[in-house]
Amino acid sequence: MKNRTNAKPKARRLFLENLERREVLAGTVLATLSAGTLKITGDAARNSVVIWQDADGNFNVLGRTSSGGTMVKAKASDPNPAVNNNLPIVGKVTNITFDGGAENDTVAIFSAPDATAAGFIATGLSALPFIGAAGRGAALALLPPAIVSGRVTINGAAGNDTATLAVNGGPTGVPGVPKFTSAIVFNGGSETGTSQNDVLNVGNTFANSLTATTYNGNDRVSLGLAVIPTININVGGTGTQTTDNDDVELSLTAALSAIVSLGAASTSGDGNDFFASNVLIANLSVTGDKGVDDVELFDVGVLNASFNLGAGDDSLEAEGLKAGLSQQDFIDLAEEIGPLPFGLDNYIKSIRGIPGSVSINTGEGSDEVELVDVDVATSLAITLAGGLLDTLAMEDVITQIANINTGEGEDEVAIDGLTATLSLSLTLGGGLNTVDMFDVATKTASITGGKDGDDIEATNFTASSLLSANLGAGENFLSLTTVLANSVSVTGGAGVDTVTIDGLTALNGDPATSLTISLLGGADVLSVSNVSTKAATLNSGEGDDEVTLTNVAVVNTLSVIMAGGVDTLTTTTVTAKTASLNGGAGIDTFNDDVTTTGTKSVVSFP
């Protein structure tokens, strides 16, 4: 990933199959008002109604068509439906409850002035399915809301049910800031062993809470322009379903807490999708299960976010994800605002930040994680777990603490621009792993290889305190190019290790404090060039080893230990105050170009 590219959102699938329901509707619904609760009760047929509020604040219940469709009655004993199949509700409506009964039911709740209402009456709900197509979040944001101060409850029961609503609790006197509807509850209905494809669309809505449960089937929940402090969405099935591939989209949404459970996708179909764009959520939790889960995040702001995708070949793509606020964010804010009275701008600059964290766990399976322009104030934790092949790509990521664990399997990690101001921990686990890091800056870096061999390359790597690498067993390759660090420590394993270090100084260009390399057993190859350090200790361990030192300046002591085996030490332009060069047991070859100002000890070399 040394050649940067601009990440682009993946093409979104057009989910029209669940929404294009053009059945011939039938049946009768009863609309009653009691103690402020407007209750709509359907029958076993396919009911479809619009509950709309007119310009005077009065509610109406409209059947989808004036003939041949859903009839609306105030009483079951009424011989005929309401005039034009539209029943005006007399009295104040505080709560709305829709009980659709069996079959495929459709309900919509919003407001409309007279002229607009006439258009909705003429066209019925035929336009509603298109709200669920591409760009549905933006379309939902345009729905005019109805005023419902209490609860909105949608009970779909058996069948493929669709609910579209826009509500709030009424005006507050502040333009654009309405009161909150107390709660929204959507229950798609549970039918064991049967797939029910339920849809919930919520747009232009202010509510205290949203609880949506869809159970079996290919379900969708979409939010567009919604301010809902508490969101709980569960689109998972009961485990007996034939298909359960679900989709959840949050667009232009703000919440204090959003908990999303995708459930277990079925083996057929394209799995579960979670899509979030332009949202602010204090605490976001997304949980998958077995099956394929795809998570896409664009311009998402959180304090804390966790993604646990479970087993299956999952993917997570995040661009413009921000978690928490750093002190630098407050400094930038104060400078943007400009001078404030009473020194408030200086106070803002002194705020140390608001902690933020992101945790990603993809579970078993071959998983893909891509992070672009991600800013996490406190900690970023990524666990890819097991899988035949996991991939992690990071570009322009900022955090304090970064912990990455690739788990078992052959994994690929590509990092192009990572700042972890306190620490970076990279644990590769089992499998033949490949790591490519470019432009990484941290205080303390720890790289731990697995048991089967790793290929690690780092260029333009800064570790102001310590960079340590433990390569583990297997055949390992480690290349460090242009490193700025106080200390560097490399420990090899029992296998064959190839270590290359080209360019090492401290941050300010002064010599690093120490360079320590211990390769243990195996026929190892060590190449060190263009290094300036106060002390260097190099131990190639047992085996037939090759050590090459080129343009190495050691302020104090250089120590080279070759141990047993047929070893070769080649030096070119090496300087030190004192040097200790020990070839160990075996037949060794030494090309001596080491210059010292003090003592030089050469042992076991010819």
**Three-class secondary structure of residue 556 per DSSP:** strand
Question: 222 CB contacts (<8 Å, ≥6 apart)?
Answer: 132, 136, 137, 140, 199, 200, 201, 202, 247, 248, 249, 251
Which H helix or E strand runs over 120? helix 114-123
Tens of pLDDT, residue by residue over 35-86, are 999 999 988 778 888 898 998 999 998 876 544 567 778 777 777 777 677 7
pLDDT class for 23, splitting at 50, 70, 90? Answer: very low
Please compute the mean of the pLDDT values over residues 224-252 and round it to a whole number.
82
Chain-centroid distance of CA 338 in Å reads 34
CA distance 16 to 131: 10
pLDDT value at residue 264: 65
Sequence-separated (6 or more) residues with CB below 8 Å from residue 328: none
Residue with tokens 């709305």: 96
For residue 332, pLDDT beyond 60: yes
Nearest to 132 by CA among 13, 19, 294, 290: 19
Distances (CA, A) of 369 to 33, 248, 251, 253, 457: 51, 19, 21, 24, 20
Q: Give Cβ neighbours of residue 208 (< 8 Å, ≥ 6 apart).
A: 180, 181, 182, 183, 228, 229, 230
For 42-169, strand residue ranges (E) read 48-53, 59-63, 71-73, 86-88, 95-99, 106-111, 146-147, 151-155, 162-165, 167-168
What does the DSSP 8-state code read for residue 125? Answer: T
Band (18; pLDDT cuts 50, 70, 90):
very low
Q: State yes or no: pLDDT of 241 exceeds 70.
A: no
Q: What is the pLDDT of residues 438-452, one digit of tens each?
A: 999 999 999 998 888
Mean pLDDT of the chain: 84
Instruction: Give pLDDT, residue 387.
Output: 67
What single DSSP character describes residue 12?
P
Other C-beta atoms closer than 10 Å to the C-beta of 239 total 11
pLDDT at 593: 94
- In this predicted structure, the answer to whether residue 6 has a pLDDT above a threshold of 60 is no
The model's confidence at residue 9, banded by pLDDT at 50, 70 and 90, is very low
pLDDT band at residue 363, thresholds of 50, 70 and 90? confident
Contact criterion met (CB below 8 Å) for 255 and 229: yes
Percent of the chain with pLDDT over 70: 86
pLDDT in tens, 279-314: 999 999 999 877 788 999 999 999 999 999 887 788
Supply the pLDDT for residue 451: 81
Asked whether the beta carbons of 438 and 459 are under 8 A apart, the reply is yes
pLDDT of residue 20: 36
Residue 285 sits at the vertex; the CA angle it makes with 281 and 291, to the nearest 5 degrees, is 135
Return the structure tokens found at 260. Answer: 């999303």
Token digits of residue 473: 């067993």
- Kindly report, residue by residue over 450-472, the tens digit of the pLDDT: 888 899 999 999 999 999 999 97
Distances (CA, A) of 496 to 408, 457, 460, 476, 492: 21, 17, 25, 6, 8
Concatenating the DSSP letter of every residue in 290-311 gives: SS-EEEEEEEEEEEEEEEE--S
Least confident of 13-22, 235-244, 406-415: 13-22
pLDDT band at 348 (very low <50, low <70, confident <90, very high): confident
Cβ–Cβ under 8 Å, residues 356 and 393? no
* Higher pLDDT among residues 161 and 341, named by residue: 161
What is residue 340's three-state secondary structure? coil
Residue 28: band (very low, low, confident or very high) from pLDDT cuts 50, 70, 90: confident
With 90 as the cut, is the pLDDT of residue 217 above it? Answer: no
- Beta-strand ranges (E) seen in 330-409 are 353-354, 357-361, 368-376, 379-383, 389-405
Predicted pLDDT at 71: 78
pLDDT in tens, 187-200: 987 655 566 788 89
> Which one-letter DSSP state was computed for residue 475?
-
2-12 average pLDDT score = 44
Decide if 278 contacts 299 (C-beta within 8 A).
yes
Residue 44, pLDDT score? 77
Residue boundaries of the structural domains of the chain: 483-603
Q: With H, G, I as helix, E, B as strand and everything else as coil, classify residue 328.
A: helix
pLDDT of residue 129: 43
Give the pLDDT mean for 380-406: 92
Could you tell me if 521 and 497 are in contact, meaning their C-beta atoms sit under 8 angstroms apart? no
pLDDT, position 357: 97
pLDDT value for 525: 94
Q: Return the SS3 of 89.
A: coil
What band does 474 get if pLDDT is binned at 50, 70 and 90?
A: confident
Question: For residue 369, what pLDDT is reported?
Answer: 95
**What integer is the mean pLDDT of 164-178?**
90
pLDDT of 126 strictly over 50: no
Residue 146 has pLDDT above 80, yes or no: yes
Which amino acid, residue 604? S
Give residue 430's pLDDT.
Answer: 77
At 43, which amino acid appears?
D
